[in-house]
Structure 1
């Protein structure tokens, strides 16, 4: 009976659950709802307290002149405000009716509903998440309040002209680019690198993008521990010298991990800095972190060179330092010349300008001008300590005496080593790219004076002093006796009389530079006798008509440079110069024959007789006996002069060759020896051609086809030797180009194609095969009947997927560059377009009406530069906005 009662009770309970389950659920929801609602009120109150605390920190910072609002903090505050409104409305709707009466009293079913229960749970979760985020935001903001913005060394801030505005814009663009994490600002000493970065740091609209900015001066005497302590102190971390670098690095890392937007500025960097060792992770590992460094050399994701100021900017900065005195009528012309002597170097402009401030006597200005022109180190207060001494650090930082010797002397190494040294000097801002292309260099005037000062001082590191009297307008060479320590003498770019007198005694001098003396017609017989140890004699671009017989006494001579001696008619016998390594007669137009004894120069390594129109004959057997010859330039010479290709084949050490090739003799010769050449420029022409071409660089393999009809010509075998640059100049039947190269043959090494002075029509033919798939540079000059580059591509079998640069000039019928949607593909690597004097050009890209394979948009998404000049009909760049990067 007891068992029956128990079973009956259990059955009743289960039956009750089935009938009353809904009621049980509502009771449970009601209990949880009231509990969660109370929790929501409490958590929301905590969030509001946290919000008010953050706002208080922001207000306090604002009173101190700092701006702490960053995008992450602004977003969090907006989320808190929105959630506060939502929670308030929810609580009100859950507890009162329209009359303000409590709903649980009059309508308890509303509180029993499951829907409000789920809603309160979700909002409670949202509030807790914002509390977690807000705690981190408050910690960061509090640290920023204590930290403040970076204090930088006092100095000039430049909205003025100390640094070109384009450099400022370049740095800003790089810092705003998500793909760039390391930005290097480099340039020669005194050019304004630190001033530029200081200006950025003092620009609120820029700095506010970062939660913290750390500025550390590294300097030439790089002390890792000092730099680490500077970073730690900037972050308000207590440090002691007894603490290990590893321990400090861990604490710096922990502190930096609180930052989402960090800018680390390392100023005056001379060598590689191991950031991990300091406790700073690499910027690339953290989106939003940037490293900005200033240096005299370059190695970063984005390198921005700070160039010297132009004339207008230089004058503005000079007037700021010199004051109103420069506006005086008698002072201004001389003052502008003084400013010009500063070479656009802001540091030098500041010092010279300040030294002349308030000086109203024109004689003082003229004296300053003479001093700057005459002496490598002008007698102006502060010049040595503030200009030349800092600049000399760049020289001292060069690795080894070899490269320092290259800087002070002239290039005497082999080509590859020489290029490496020159590039090192360029990266250290001691040399700059020349005005005539990448294969030339120039030296800034101030750096040139630095070189003269270093080489003339008793502290010259290689022990070789120099005696320099260049560009002074001397009419006679000075009558002095140089000490034995003098190894180099320079009288270049003066105005010596036709027959200068000199009583020089220079027994140990190895280098004599006389180039650029246009009035120098004859070198006195006794003059060279003073230089018995001479190894390098440079008479380039002088007015010399004949070399003295005393030259034959210089048996140690290694280099004889007669480049551009347009009046020189003959050379003395050179058979006794067994140590001669370099003979340069480039553009010595009047030389009719090579000197006697030429075949005896067994150590000659470089011979340049290019552009020697009068040299019509080279005696048979002469070239083949120059067994050490590595470099030979015979290009653009007399058309009657025949080169014996068999003699060139005998020169086993020859690695660089620049000659004209007679098309009529190519088929009969043997040219396997070309394969061992590392650099060459072959000019293929008909012997009847009288046109000379512009010279190119000595660092590539080039072929120029000059004034030829391409029909029936075969020179594809020549391009098989990894030719990188091909030029057609004033040729005919260019549509035969694929046949001349050999159909279905691919020339993957070819990177550059130039077509110049082509008068023929482009027939509607198709090459049917891509012969040049890796073209990077396309130049078109005076191609008369070309209407589009797409037309050229189909005719010649060109592929543009790797194309980087397009240069088009004086193509009078060109209407557009590319027809998009036809055979042209997306120009994903194109970065530069230069167009000049194309009178019919209407737009750059024309979209075809149909395409089986639609092109991606934009088609030129890497385009960085567009130069447009004298294009009268150009109305828009493209009819489709999708052509350009957004």
Structure 2
């Protein structure tokens, strides 16, 4: 267009007056003005460059040049023809100069117009601003989480993802590597990173996002106007918002800042120390970032330190150094940098390890920096009681798995849980505190069910804080091999003492420790005798744990403990009698399981404040029904009792009369809210049920075991991370007794062991099993199917979450007949083991209901040929089993396929285990499906039997194959 203008101008310049040439120049100038206005409009919300300022200056100057041309042109037009014919050579020369000037001006204008583009406004923001962090591919743990997040981001139904975990665990590193991942740049038009803890409030967050988008908000104070500009800028763009370190007190409503991810293609990934932030932010996928495994921590430490760590004199010390880092990436990074400078000198390494182990008694740079940050997390606790509960948790050994109920009992006994006279209410409050500490990443769930643990570094921090406290001084010496007790000064100064798991042989005669409120002496098997006056100066003691010690009797000074609330004597296998309890008028918790009392401890009948009692009947040598009198009128005195657990040998048939007598008294207790007991027969259960008015109460929890069997352990409970409140085990029974069906109606988890006289679970009544969440069927030789749906007109087992079927030789199917919508809709785990006749797993229509199934395990089922049978699942939709994460196939000699082809999406599948499946020749995967598959564990024979559709899929799956033994 510019060249056309120049040509037009040159043609016009040939005319005498050059008027047309001037019009071209004027037109060019007007175009420049339009271009200027467009750029200025952009500049309202964008920052302009110095080049733009210079361009504007040239535009203003060109205006003067055009105006000067207009004046000269007007002078030429006013000349008469005669003047024109008679003009002198000098005038002719002036006219030529004018035309030349017009040409030059027009060329300048064309050049000016060509340079007037939107690049004169600051360039568009980069798609991704790279964070300079080490790649995660060297750290399998981080890499795996990044891959998981990428999988969630590909899911159109996932809008928000939250990473939460304690400080130093690597959340920011994960986020930085996510930001840098090459797939992110392909998935999004722009990635916005904001460290939220630095911007403090919503207004500053909004401005940080505007700055990233290179929007000029100078002079604009209206938050809604800024939100509109952000919204306009992101219109039609795929955006990923990365919010690092979101604090709990920030009300983060994205719609207020112009980024409503519900309406636009905007996705959010955030990190936080607080789990509840993930809920407040309505994340679709909260991910708990745990510390590294010990193996991963060691690998990371080796990489950080370098080749010196492989030196034969260094490596043993280096492993101990790495262990001191508590599997925290941040601490590993800091400590490794310090030890890297120690070179190959074992002496320097050994000295450094000694310093590290002696923290906090001496300073250590790497830990001190982290602890200062972690202490901020402690100060962030909004309640002094919660702070006390946190500090108290440090009294247990390093990396110890703490049983939750025990911890809550100690908290209550110490007086941390106030305004809760009822034990059930106190437990609920304790669970709330515990959950908050976990959500703040100050405690963490253990792999062991119903247990928590405290990270080593956090424990050191808690001990350091308590050492500076006036009224929370903790003396902690567990697992130190102590043979002698602490000295007099240590006893006198401490508020709480923990000498767990040592080799103590003796204790001081009468330590002066009136301020002592907790004394933990458990697991000291060499401690046989406690001095008679030992407890004489412990009037304020509230928690005493002696379990697992070698004591044979209790000292007379026990009666001085009139403030004692919790006493643990369980597993004191040499303790033969329960005495000296006269002064324990406030005792609320007593555990005397697995002691060796010669007689039934009738003394417990005098502990009228007792709220929680755990005991074993098998200790007392009662063999005949005549000894039932020992038990009479003991439990009926404990009118405040809320929780009762009675263990006995489930194989010993001599306990029937005793249990019946006890259960009749227990049935009269009006405050009982929890009962765990083994009823030798259904008649014993019936006797209790008929006499108790509480067992159907919604607050009442129970573990009822009925029948003689090998173990009191409830296997189904191991499948649940959270506590099941009502559990029934029926062992070696026969038929369907109405009282069992009545109890089933109230039951959350059901174990059916060695039962006869029933061919299906539904024989117990479809309506009766509608509430069960967990079910184990084991050794039932007559069970042929789980549910017979024929004649049923509604959904069945809609609450069932876990089903385990083991050693059921006649089982041919899980479901027969129609499967109504809603049936099995919450099932997450299905395990089938040693079912010799089972040929089909998913009956017609059943698989469509399993939208929540996450884990499928099939083992020792010799007749199964297809995991998903084609004849039962014609027209199976690609989105079947959308949440299946793990598939385990073991010892299935006839299985030929998982599914007939690769038409299913497998969107959530992460891991497959294949063992002894030699007939399985093809996996149902291609390069498009199973995008989240991370691992295939298979033995060499099963792997070698697989045939591949093409080299690409073979190579991909080969890269994630892990050979099992």
Q: Scaled by the length of structure 1, what TM-score is found?
A: 0.75
Correspondent of 1:776 among 774, 791, 800? 800
Deviations, residues 170-225 of structure 1 (Å, cap 9, x unaligned)? 11112222111111111111010001111111223323422222211122893444
Q: Quick check: 1:607 aligned with 2:613?
A: yes
Q: Quick check: 1:513 aligned with 2:520?
A: yes
* Contact 2:136 2:143 survives alignment (8 Å): no
- Comparing 577-586 and 613-622, the one that deviates more: 613-622
* Contact 2:742 2:768 survives alignment (8 Å): no
| Aligned mates of 1:541, 1:251 — CA distance in 2 | 68
Correspondent of 1:632 among 644, 662, 677? 644
Q: Which residue does the alignment assign to 1:491?
A: 499
Q: Which residue does the alignment assign to 2:851?
A: 828
State the Cα distance separating 1:246 from its structure 2 match.
2.3
Q: Which residue does the alignment assign to 2:829?
A: 806
3-state SS of paired residue (1:506): coil
| Aligned mates of 2:581, 2:120 — CA distance in 1 | 82
Q: Which residue does the alignment assign to 1:719?
A: 744
Correspondent of 2:841 among 818, 821, 846? 818
Correspondent of 1:753 among 775, 796, 800? 775
Q: Quick check: 1:844 aligned with 2:861?
A: no
| Aligned mates of 1:221, 1:547 — CA distance in 2 | 61
Q: Which residue does the alignment assign to 1:91?
A: none
Q: Which runs of 5+ in 2 are unaligned?
A: 1-30, 39-116, 393-406, 418-425, 623-627, 907-928, 930-965
Q: Quick check: 1:672 aligned with 2:684?
A: no
Q: Which residue does the alignment assign to 1:591?
A: 597
State the Cα distance separating 1:327 from its structure 2 match.
1.1
Cα distance 1:483–1:207, how it changes in 2: closer, same or farther (>3 A)? Answer: farther
| Aligned mates of 1:175, 1:415 — CA distance in 2 | 39
- Comparing 805-814 and 569-578, the one that deviates more: 805-814
State the Cα distance separating 1:625 from its structure 2 match.
1.5
* Contact 1:475 1:500 survives alignment (8 Å): no
| Aligned mates of 2:523, 2:821 — CA distance in 1 | 46
Cα distance 1:404–1:142, how it changes in 2: closer, same or farther (>3 A)? Answer: farther
Correspondent of 2:461 among 447, 450, 460? 450
Q: Quick check: 1:404 aligned with 2:410?
A: no
Deviations, residues 816-843 of structure 1 (Å, cap 9, x unaligned)? 4524427776423323212344455433
Q: Which residue does the alignment assign to 1:172?
A: 150
Counterparts of 1:323-402 in structure 2, within 5 Å, are 323-359=306-342, 360-373=344-357, 375=359, 379-385=363-369, 387-402=370-385
| Aligned mates of 1:233, 1:774 — CA distance in 2 | 51
* Contact 1:478 1:502 survives alignment (8 Å): no
Cα distance 1:871–1:403, how it changes in 2: closer, same or farther (>3 A)? Answer: farther
Deviations, residues 35-74 of structure 1 (Å, cap 9, x unaligned)? xxxxxxxxxxx9xxx9xx9xxxxxxxxxxxxxxxxxxxxx
3-state SS of paired residue (1:170): helix
State the Cα distance separating 1:689 from its structure 2 match.
4.4
Q: Which runs of 5+ in 1 are unaligned?
A: 1-45, 54-137
Q: Which residue does the alignment assign to 2:178?
A: 200
Cα distance 1:745–1:326, how it changes in 2: closer, same or farther (>3 A)? Answer: closer
* Contact 1:162 1:309 survives alignment (8 Å): no
Deviations, residues 398-418 of structure 1 (Å, cap 9, x unaligned)? 331222222222422422112
Cα distance 1:875–1:500, how it changes in 2: closer, same or farther (>3 A)? Answer: farther
State the Cα distance separating 1:502 from its structure 2 match.
7.2
Q: Which residue does the alignment assign to 1:271?
A: 248
Deviations, residues 432-470 of structure 1 (Å, cap 9, x unaligned)? 222332x22222222222322222233x7xx42222222
| Aligned mates of 1:340, 1:590 — CA distance in 2 | 40
| Aligned mates of 1:795, 1:636 — CA distance in 2 | 44
Cα distance 1:627–1:714, how it changes in 2: closer, same or farther (>3 A)? Answer: closer
Cα distance 1:592–1:149, how it changes in 2: closer, same or farther (>3 A)? Answer: farther
Q: Quick check: 1:642 aligned with 2:694?
A: no
Deviations, residues 738-766 of structure 1 (Å, cap 9, x unaligned)? 45x3x564443222211122234638995
Cα distance 1:547–1:303, how it changes in 2: closer, same or farther (>3 A)? Answer: same
* Contact 1:152 1:215 survives alignment (8 Å): no
- Comparing 632-641 and 171-180, the one that deviates more: 632-641
Correspondent of 1:550 among 550, 554, 557? 557
Cα distance 1:285–1:857, how it changes in 2: closer, same or farther (>3 A)? Answer: closer
Cα distance 1:192–1:691, how it changes in 2: closer, same or farther (>3 A)? Answer: closer
3-state SS of paired residue (1:450): helix
State the Cα distance separating 1:732 from its structure 2 match.
2.3
| Aligned mates of 1:764, 1:239 — CA distance in 2 | 66
| Aligned mates of 1:884, 1:817 — CA distance in 2 | 22
* Contact 1:821 1:855 survives alignment (8 Å): no
Q: Scaled by the length of structure 2, what TM-score is found?
A: 0.69
Deviations, residues 557-585 of structure 1 (Å, cap 9, x unaligned)? 01112344344333224242111111123
3-state SS of paired residue (2:478): coil
| Aligned mates of 1:805, 1:814 — CA distance in 2 | 24
Counterparts of 1:169-248 in structure 2, within 5 Å, are 169-219=147-197, 222-239=200-217, 244=221, 246=223
State the Cα distance separating 1:353 from its structure 2 match.
1.7
Deviations, residues 232-275 of structure 1 (Å, cap 9, x unaligned)? 322223456x8636266445534544451112211111125444
* Contact 1:753 1:778 survives alignment (8 Å): yes
* Contact 1:475 1:495 survives alignment (8 Å): yes
Counterparts of 1:536-575 in structure 2, within 5 Å, are 536-575=543-582
Cα distance 1:464–1:149, how it changes in 2: closer, same or farther (>3 A)? Answer: same
State the Cα distance separating 1:491 from its structure 2 match.
1.4
Q: Which residue does the alignment assign to 2:304?
A: 321
| Aligned mates of 2:251, 2:489 — CA distance in 1 | 52
* Contact 1:582 1:607 survives alignment (8 Å): yes
Cα distance 1:570–1:520, how it changes in 2: closer, same or farther (>3 A)? Answer: same
Q: Runs in 1 of length 4+ with deviation above 6 angstroms? A: 141-144, 794-799
* Contact 1:185 1:295 survives alignment (8 Å): yes
* Contact 1:239 1:248 survives alignment (8 Å): no
Q: Quick check: 1:868 aligned with 2:892?
A: no
Counterparts of 1:525-544 in structure 2, within 5 Å, are 525-544=532-551
Correspondent of 1:692 among 696, 699, 712? 712
State the Cα distance separating 1:348 from its structure 2 match.
1.5
Report the count of equivalent residues: 737
Cα distance 1:711–1:200, how it changes in 2: closer, same or farther (>3 A)? Answer: closer
Cα distance 1:635–1:869, how it changes in 2: closer, same or farther (>3 A)? Answer: same
* Contact 1:228 1:278 survives alignment (8 Å): no
* Contact 1:738 1:797 survives alignment (8 Å): no
| Aligned mates of 2:618, 2:200 — CA distance in 1 | 54
* Contact 1:710 1:737 survives alignment (8 Å): no
